[in-house]
Amino acid sequence: MSIADNLKKIKEKLPEQVTLVAVSKTKPIGDLQSAYESGQRIFGENKIQEMTEKWESLPKDIKWHMIGHVQRNKVKYMAEYVDLIHGVDSLRLLKEINKQALKKKRVISCLLQVHIAEEETKFGLSQKELLTMVDSDDFKVLKNIKVKGLMGMATFTDDTTQVRKEFKTLKSCFDLLKTKLPDLHVLSMGMSGDYQIAIEEGSTMVRIGSSIFGARNYS
């Protein structure tokens, strides 16, 4: 199956309100070009340097989403062009994004990452940390960032009951936060292996890589 065929097949399964982020990390420019020619305009990357190289060589109407863990000292390299940062998990990072956005006279859209998986290794805020953060005065003064929603990753497991439970937790967190931040409208959850469950549980944005571009080779 070609990238164009894979994209078409996935899009047929997505409800209209769900946005598709094509996760192109590790993939060569030619693969992104193929997806672009099939109409895909939103790409997700997890390394700032790789994303910047791709941004430089591809058409400028592409929206670049940073889906990986962000190091504060690298925010400056994407501040000029990044469309949405999914993995914001601290006030310190948010402050740095705000600072770099101000320098570029931009408002950068962000999602706050919530820890929903059982695994210790996944980044993210607890629900309590999340609520404390958005209630703080330090958060309220940040004018060059816009929190548009939440992002989360479920445990990597075949146990769909577990995965569904974790997505439900994220959705209820989203609904709770929306009472404080009424503009919230993005719920980024679901990857190649679990996006159908995520959509059933209220996802509005799925991040799909291997089902579009094939398995990644990290060697």
27 touches ligand PLP by CB under 6 A: no
Of the two residues 23 and 177, which places its CB atom closer to ligand PLP in the complex?
23
- Kindly tell me which residue out of 191, 197, 198, 205 binds ligand PLP, with binding defined by CB under 6 A: 191
Min dist CB 24 to ligand PLP, Å, is 10
Q: Residue 122 and residue 110: Cα distance in Å, rounded?
A: 18
Q: From 136-144, 163-171, 178-186, 190-198, give the range in contact with ligand PLP by CB under 6 A.
A: 190-198
Min dist CB 105 to ligand PLP, Å, is 29
CA 31, 36, 40, 41 torsion: positive or negative? positive
**C-beta separation of 185 from 147 below 8 A:** no
Q: From 29-37, 72-80, 168-176, 209-217, give the range in contact with ligand PLP by CB under 6 A.
A: 209-217
Of the two residues 87 and 133, which places its CB atom closer to ligand PLP in the complex?
87
The site string for ligand PLP over 42-61 (x = CB under 6 A, - otherwise) reads ----x---------------
Tokens of 15: 């409800």
207 touches ligand PLP by CB under 6 A: yes
Q: Residue 195 and residue 201: Cα distance in Å, rounded?
A: 10
Of the two residues 98 and 113, which places its CB atom closer to ligand PLP in the complex?
113
156 touches ligand PLP by CB under 6 A: no
Q: Residue 201 and residue 196: Cα distance in Å, rounded?
A: 9
**C-beta separation of 204 from 190 below 8 A:** no
What Å distances lie between residue 129 and 11, 112, 125, 133, 135, CA to CA?
35, 11, 6, 6, 10
Kindly list the residues in this chain that would bind ligand PLP in the complex (CB under 6 A). Answer: 23, 25, 46, 67-68, 153, 191-193, 207-211
